[in-house]
Structures are given as C-alpha cells and as structure tokens.
Amino acid sequence: MGSLRTFIKDVRAAKTLAEERSMITKESAKIRTRLKDDHLSLSKRRKNIQKLLYLYILGEKTHFAQVECINLIASDEFENKRLGYLAAMLLLDEKQELLTLLTNILKSDINHPTKYVVSMVLCTLGTLTSVELARDLYPDVEQILKFSKDRYLLKKAFQCAAKIVIKDPYLASVFHPYTVKIFSMPDVCTHGVLLGVNQLLQSMATVVKSNEFNDYDAVASTILKVVPELLGILKQTNSSTLNTAYDVHGVCDPFLQVETLYTLRLIFLTFKDEVSSYNSKFTSILGKMVTNVESSKNSANAILYEIVRTVFTLESQDSLRVQSINILAKFLSGKDINTKYVALNSLLQVVSLEPQAVQTHRKFISRCLFDPDISIQKRALELIFNIIEDSNMKETVDELVNFITLSDGEERDLILYTVEHLLTMFDIRGIKSKGWTLAVVIRILKSMGEHLTVEIIGEILVMINNATELSDKRDIALQLLQLSLSKDQPIISEDNFGWKLITVWIIGEYANLVLGEPGVTDISLTGYLNNLNNIYSDDHKLIGYILTAALKLSSRISDPGCIEKLRQLVKAHEQNTDLVIQTKAVHYSILFSQPKEIKTAFLEAMPVFIKNVAHELDSGEKAISRKPVQTDLLGDLLSDIPSEKKPVASISNKPGGGSLDLLLHSFTNKNPSLGASAPLTTTTTSSTSDQPVTIPNIQISENIPSSALEIHTSSAIQVFSHVESANQGSANIRLFFKAKSSVTQLAVLVAVSKTQKLNLGTISRVNMIPGQVATQLLTITGSGILKFRIKLSSQNGINLQFDHKFDTTL
C-alpha cells in the first residue's frame, strides 16, 4: 500500500472521472478492511487515517473511522494524538454519542505535561463542545485560567470557556472573575488572549439574562470592572502607531478593534443601567475613532462599519449618527465593490432612523444603480424608494426611469420591482400632477413594455382609467396612438406586448377623444386592430382586448366600411377554439347589431375603478379581488422591504386566491404585531357577544373629529381614522366606525407591519344602529411607515378588509 502522497498523486493523475471514482472507492474499501484488522500497527493505522482524511475532503463517506480517531488519541505518542485530534475534529460532531468515549481521554490529556497536547485538547473542546463535555471539563479549563502563564494556553482556555458558557449558562459564574484578573497580568495579555477574553465576555453577556441566571449581580460587577479596560484597549489599538506584529495595511489589529467594539456593544445593551456611567466616555472614544480611522483600506472600513453599527445600536447622539451616515455615504463614493455593498446594506438598516441624513447622499446612492453588480443595484433601488419624498420626487423618478430604460431588460426582476414600486408609490401618495405620472408611465411602457407582467399592465390601465382630467387622458391616448400608428420606422419594438395591449384598450375607451387628430382616423384605428388581430391570433389575452376594443370603437366611428370590418373581426371569432373568446364574440356580435342608441349606452368608457375597496370574502373561499393592485398592496404591507423575488411572487395568478392567502397568513400566524390574538375564527366575536350590548366608555367622545380621515366606506359601515399623536417610535390612532345600517357584534382585527407592535384598545360598542359611531384606540410602536390592515366582521354579515397607509413615518 502506497503512501498518502502517492495516493493523492494517483487521484490527481486520473484521466477520467470514472477512473478517479473507481480509484477512490477501491481505496476507501481497502482502508475500511485494514482498519478492522486488530493487529494493524499504529503507524499503519495512522497512514490509513491520513488517507481517509483526504477522502473526507473529497466528500467521501468516512463515518466508519470515527472510533479509530479515538483509538489514535488514546495512544501515548504525540504523532498519533495529533492526527487523532485532527481527525476527531473533522469527522465527529457534537451530537455523537462517541463523544462520551472521548471525555475521559480529554480529561486526562488536558492535564498532560506536554503543553502541545493540552493545546490540542482545548482546540478540540472549542470545536466539539457538547453540554456534557462542557460540564465534565470546565474545572480543568478553569485550572488553566487560574494557574497557567502560557499565553498560547490562556487564549485557548478563554475561548473554550466562552463556548462552555454558551452550552451551560450557569458556568458563567465560574468563569467571570478571570475576565478581570487577566488585565493584572500585562505580560500575557497578547492580542490573542484579549480576543479570548472578549469572546468570554460576549458569551456572558449573551447568557446572563436568560434562564433566570441567578448570579447576575456578581457578573455585572465584574463587567463594571472590565469596561474601562476594554475602552482602554480600544483607545490604545485605535490610536497606536505602527506595530508590525498586528499591522494590517497600516491599521493596528482591526480584528481586536472590531471584536472589542462588538463586546462593548453587547455589554452596553445587556448591562445598560450598570455601565451608564461610561456612556460618555464610550461615545467620545467612538467619536475619536470615527475621525481617526482613515477609510481607504478594507480593514479600516471593517472598523468603521462596526463603529457605525455600534452608534446605531446604542442610540447615540444625533451628531454621531449623522457622522456615521456620512461615513457610509463615503463608502458609496469609493471604488471598492465590497465596501459599497456593505454600506448600502447598513444604510438600508438605518434609513428609517435618520431618513434626512441618508437623503443628503441621494446622488451617491443613485449612482449605485449603474453599478455592474446586481445586488448593489437592488439595494440602491430599495434605498431610493425609502427616501423618495415630494421635494425630490420628479428628479428621483427620472433617474429611476433612466435606470430601467438603460438596463436593456437584462434584469427583469429589477425592472418589475422598480415599476411596481413606482406605481404603488404614485397610487399611495395620490400624486397630484397626474399628467406627469402618466408621462412617466408612457416612458416606461415605451421602452420596457415587453418585460412587464400582466398584473402591472393591468395596474397601468387602472391608472389611465382613473385619471381625473380628461385632457390627461386625451394626451396619453394621443401619444400612444400616434406612436403606434406611425408609418415610419417602427418606434415601438415588435415584442412590446404591454404597449400593444394598452393601445388596444385605449382605442376602445378613448377613440372619441382623439379621432381627427393627425394620423388618427377611423381607417387607421380599424387597421391597427385588424392588423394585431391577424398577427396575434393565438394570444387569447390580447384577442379578448381586441374584441372589446373593436366593439367599442364601432360605436365611436362613422365610416361604414370600417364598422363592417370591425363586425367581421368580431364575427370571425365566433368560431374561435377558445371557449371564452368564442362566448365573448357571440355576445359581442349580438350587441354589434343593436341600434346605435342602445349600443352607445352599453359601450360608454369605463367608470373610475374604486381601489382599496374591501373585497367581500364570500364563504371564505373566493375573495373577489377587483384589481391585481390589491394583491400587490397586501403583499407590500407584510414586509417593508420586499425581497428581490417578491414582486413576481406576490402576484397571484388566481386573483383573489393570492390575497386571501396573504390575509390568512397575516391573521393567523403568531406575529406579535397582531392586535387581536384571536385567529380568523369566531373567538373574538364570541368573547364580545357575552357582554352587554354596549360597553360604556364615558371618556371617549364618539363625535368624529373634523380632521378624521375617511379610510373606508361600504354599504354597511364607514371607517374614519384620526391620528391623535405620532412621535418617534409610537403613535396613537383612533378609529371611528360609523354604521350605515345596523351592526351587531362588530369584531375588529388590525394588523400592522412586522417592524411595529400594536396595542388594540377596547371598542366602545359592538352593536350599532344606523348613524351610531363606535370608536377604538390603536397604539402602534416601532419603526417604519405607518400602515395597517383592518378586518371587520359582524354577525349580520359584514365581512371585509382593507388597508390604509398614512403619510406619517414612525
């Protein structure tokens, strides 16, 4: 049997994958047989285990050798032990019962006279800390911390202690004194040892509040002594001039600096009251560090990033927060991709806390849209949507549209994400200048129409349909049609399905507004529909739209030849193999031949779609979502920062079905943000039905204040909201329910977004006669945009839900 080296060489030299495979299987089988042989010498065993480890790296099964590791460790020779420990760390894991076999050997080896053996035990223990091992070996680790002067052993012992404390929190009371003691021994305080101390402190801070840890005060008093030392380390490493041993590109030990920052952060969070006297000192050091660290190298940026995180976790002063955001923005302007990526991530995390400060760096953020890395683009996009406000709206939207038109359709997800968010934003903010938003939409449609989903196109249709100014509609119709009908070089790409669909719809709805404009004639419009009808005969979606458009157009034009052509078009589809189209065509044909007066009444342009209307939950099965928009908004409400895939995923192919799922999800999961813990079933209703008809609540005025906003109205009930107070982090909102018809046992469920918590007050009455008002107070705490979803139900048939978003951000 050859050596390890030969084996590795042979495997490498294998010419085909099959040859390699057979070589490996053969060797693996050989090793297995050999290891079974009780008479195999230790040196041969060692050789076999070495090969086995190589097989492990190659991803082979090696479990049969696990006991063998323990045999090697049990040997007296260092050589065997060394390989045994390496193999144990690679092949065993914490869950295995074999570890119990290891306990005794570890216990004796940890007191081995050779420090290298002790060191290996500590390393193994740090890697494979099971609860049992932790409890069996902690006294030995403590002995090392107590007596050893060897910095190699000390640093490992600290790290083992850190792992042990995590496994058994009670042991924190054993180890905490050593975190102070070590600072009295400066000669062994190498950075490695300090890293270990940091880790032990982190473990302590992590466990000390859990499990009703009973030695909290003792640990806290230790911590109080450690904090000045840690601050000292920070100050010293941060300001120290070149120290070659720890230098990383001109920065002194960034690892220790970051580790110490992290430890301090945990301590200041966990022992907030105990260490409050050090707050100002810590802040001033952070302030100095910010100016001290020169951001140009990766390691320096790592420290800066950690400082920023600390500043925001500790709710430091505003000036420091703004300074931190400026640092992050500076990252963005640099060339390093990783730093940019990290900076955008962090900005996303803090944007809700300091929107204004982030706002000032919008230029840099926008520039990241054009970064070649898609994950950077995506984060920049998210961030931009977070900081859009009225003052920069036009400029920002322009940039966004530029971005998607230049992206060449390569990243469809990003385009969809952008368009969808733009439309939602237009919708929610109720942008006043409709003409401008429509122009934006046309731009998007023109260059990106082929990438848009049917749902987004539907949303655009609603937007055009709901435009209040007739002149806006006319403008957009004219623009679309003139481009579509243009005889010159086709401006609109052949594949631009979205554009075509919308044009067809516009011809049906608004032909009368634009007929007579240059190029827009009975003939040209009829020709356009006919042409599309021929080209896309197998696209049922488009054909459906064409049929409607043809029918509607026929009532708006006068040229008899054209009307006849349209009639033929419709008639031809009476034979369509698609049943839906066929039905439509048959119905339309009948309508077609009706007298003009009747037709005209039928074929009026569509009225305004009412958005955000509650969809009735018919028997809890079919929610009739009027528009895909709804689904979208619902999806949005569930998380403030939708993931990249979300826009596509949140749109359900079955309208209604998707939104119902979301709804159920929102109301049934155990999300703490739910106002009522009752699931969608009748619990809430039944709990209130035991109570008297009205719950007297003297203090609450049931007069709806004039400033209250109507957020919902249906045939049964009107809902108003009134923001009573909204400060940073919390808001009181009063809801008023005004009955339009009598209401019995009204049950109100409210959900807020994940970043917020909701406290739902008692409703003043559950039964109402028409005109009566019930009121209820919501207290929302947390961060992010203020929005909620309300679900109302009553015993006499109210069953609806709707969403509302406020302009306020917590």
Partner 1 sequence: MAIHFIICFNKQGILRLGRWFQSSGHSLQDKNSLAQILKLIMSRDSRTQSNIIDFDDRTKLVYRRYAGLYFVMGVSLEEDGLLYLAHIQLFVEVLDLFFGNVCELDILFNFYKAYMVMDEMFIGGELRETSKELLLDRLTQLEKLP
Q: Is 128 in the site for partner 1 (CB under 8 A)?
A: yes
Nearer to partner 1, 106 or 195 (CB): 195
253 is a site residue for partner 1 (CB under 8 A): yes
Q: Kindly tell me which residue out of 102, 258, 264, 676 binds partner 1, with binding defined by CB under 8 A.
A: 258
Nearer to partner 1, 107 or 151 (CB): 151
Q: Does residue 772 belong to the site contacting partner 1 (CB under 8 A)? A: no
Given the rule CB under 8 A, which of 127-135, 269-277, 441-449, 566-574 is the region that contacts partner 1? 127-135
Q: How far is the CB of 513 from partner 1 (least distance, A)?
A: 48
Of 660-719, binders to partner 1 (CB under 8 A) are none
- Taking the complex as a whole, the smallest distance from the CB of residue 566 to partner 1 amounts, in Å, to 52
Candidates 156-164, 170-178, 225-233, 513-521; binding stretch for partner 1 (CB under 8 A):
156-164
Residues 426-455 that bind partner 1 (CB under 8 A): none
Q: Which of 315, 318, 373, 395 binds partner 1 (CB under 8 A)?
A: 373
Q: How many CB atoms neighbour CB 341 within 10 A?
A: 18
- CB of residue 169 vs partner 1: minimum separation in angstroms? 15
- Contact track, partner 1, 191-210, x by CB under 8 A: xx--xx--x--x--------
83 makes contact with partner 1 (CB under 8 A):
yes
Residues 624-643 that bind partner 1 (CB under 8 A): none
Q: Are 31 and 52 in contact (CB under 8 A)?
A: yes
Q: Which is nearer to partner 1, 158 or 385 (CB)?
A: 158
Contact between 113 and partner 1 (CB under 8 A)? no
Structure token digits, residue 412? 């469809």
Using the minimum distance from each CB to partner 1, give the nearer residue, 86 or 182: 86
The single residue among 256, 397, 549, 780 that binds partner 1, judged by CB under 8 A, is 256
Kind and range of the H or E run holding 726: strand 717-727
Q: From residue 316 to residue 345, what is the string marking binding to partner 1 with x (rule CB under 8 A)?
A: ---------------------xxxxxx---
53 binds partner 1 (CB under 8 A): yes
DSSP track, 747-794: EEEEEE-TTEEEEE---SBS-B-TT-EEEEEEEEEESSEEEEEEEEE-
User: 159 or 745, CB closer to partner 1?
Assistant: 159
> Within positions 58 to 77, which residues make up the interface with partner 1, using CB under 8 A?
58-59, 77
The DSSP string of 184-239 is G-GGG--HHHHHHHHHHHHHHHHHTTSTT-TTHHHHHHHHHHHHHHHHHHHHHHHH
Alpha carbons 739 and 772: distance in angstroms, whole number? 6
**Structural contact between residues 345 and 368, judged by C-beta atoms closer than 8 angstroms:** no
Please tell me whether residue 5 binds partner 1 under the rule CB under 8 A.
yes
- Assess 310 for contact with partner 1 (CB under 8 A): no
Q: Which one among 43, 236, 279, 375 touches partner 1, defined by CB under 8 A? A: 375
Q: What span, in angstroms and rounded, lies between the C-alpha atoms of 424 and 437?
A: 12
Contacting partner 1 (CB under 8 A), which of 169, 254, 647, 656? 254
Least gap, CB of 110 to partner 1 (angstroms):
15
Q: CA nearest 366: which of 341, 351, 383?
A: 383
Q: Which of residues 85-104 bind partner 1 (CB under 8 A)?
A: 86, 89-90, 93-95
18 binding partner 1? (CB under 8 A): no
DSSP conformational letter for 250: T
Interhelix angle 115-127/151-167, nearest 10 degrees: 30
- Interface residue with partner 1 among 242, 245, 579, 769 (CB under 8 A) is 245
Assess 557 for contact with partner 1 (CB under 8 A). no
Minimum CB–partner distance for residue 336 and partner 1 (Å): 9
Does 376 sit near partner 1 (CB under 8 A)?
A: yes
Residue type, 183: F
In order of 68, 87, 96, 302, the CA distances from 54 in angstroms are 15, 11, 22, 35
Which H helix or E strand runs over 309? helix 298-313
String of DSSP letters for 99-118: HHHHHHHHHHHTT-SSHHHH
603 Cβ contact list (under 8 Å, min separation 6): 551, 552, 555, 556
- Return the range that interacts with partner 1 (CB under 8 A); candidates 78-86, 385-393, 525-533, 655-663: 78-86
The reply on whether position 306 binds partner 1 by CB under 8 A is yes
**For partner 1, which is the closer residue by CB, 373 or 559?**
373
Q: Which residue has the tokens 């004194």?
A: 177
Question: Closest distance between partner 1 and the C-beta of residue 335, in Å?
Answer: 11
Q: Least distance (Å) from partner 1 to the CB of residue 512?
A: 52
Smaller CB separation from partner 1, 198 or 775: 198
In contact, 297 and 250? CB cutoff 8 Å: yes
The strand order across the sheet containing 709-713 reads 709-713, 717-727, 730-739, 773-782, 756-760
* Rounded-to-integer distance, Cα 407 and Cα 5, Å: 52
Residue whose CB is less far from partner 1, 77 or 517: 77
CA distance 536 to 399: 34
Smallest distance from partner 1 to CB 384, Å:
19
How far, in Å, CA of 470 to CA of 147, rounded?
88
Rounded to whole angstroms, the Cα distance separating 250 from 241 reads: 9
Among 216, 246, 370, 436, binds partner 1 (CB under 8 A): 246
Look up residue 341 and give its two tokens. 């990526």
- The C-alpha atoms of residue 560 and residue 546 are separated, in whole angstroms, by 19
Helix (H) or strand (E) holding 730: strand 730-739
What part of residues 274-303 is at the interface with partner 1 (CB under 8 A)?
298-299, 301-302
- Helices 374-387, 412-429: crossing angle, 10 deg rounding: 0
Whether 632 contacts 420, CB under 8 Å: yes
Closest to partner 1 by CB, 198 vs 554, is 198
Contacting partner 1 (CB under 8 A), which of 71, 75, 148, 190? 190
Q: Which stretch binds partner 1 (CB under 8 A): 252-260, 442-450, 615-623, 733-741?
A: 252-260
Q: Which of 478, 468, 389 is nearest to 428 (CA)?
A: 389
C-beta closer to partner 1: residue 256 or 438: 256
Contact residue for partner 1 among 14, 70, 98, 123 (CB under 8 A): 123
Query: What are the tokens at 298?
Result: 């990766």
- Candidates 167, 114, 115; CA nearest to 137 is 167
Provide the minimum distance between the beta carbon of 122 and partner 1 in the complex, in angstroms, as a whole number: 8
* Contact by Cβ (8 Å): 622, 656: yes
Max CA pair span of the chain: 109
Among 64, 152, 216, 436, binds partner 1 (CB under 8 A): 152
From 31-39, 100-108, 150-158, 621-629, span contacting partner 1 (CB under 8 A): 150-158
Residue among 52, 144, 166, 286 that touches partner 1 (CB under 8 A): 166
Nearest-angstrom CA–CA distance, 390 and 129: 56
> Is 54 a binder of partner 1 (CB under 8 A)?
yes
- The 3-state DSSP composition of the chain as helix, strand, coil percent (nearest 5) reads 60, 10, 30
Site size toward partner 1 (CB under 8 A) is 70
* Residues of this chain that bind partner 1 (CB under 8 A): 5, 8, 12, 50, 53-54, 57-59, 77-79, 82-83, 86, 89-90, 93-95, 116, 122-123, 126-129, 152, 155-156, 159-160, 162-163, 166, 190-192, 195-196, 199, 202, 244-246, 248, 253-256, 258-259, 262, 298-299, 301-302, 305-306, 309, 337-342, 372-373, 375-376
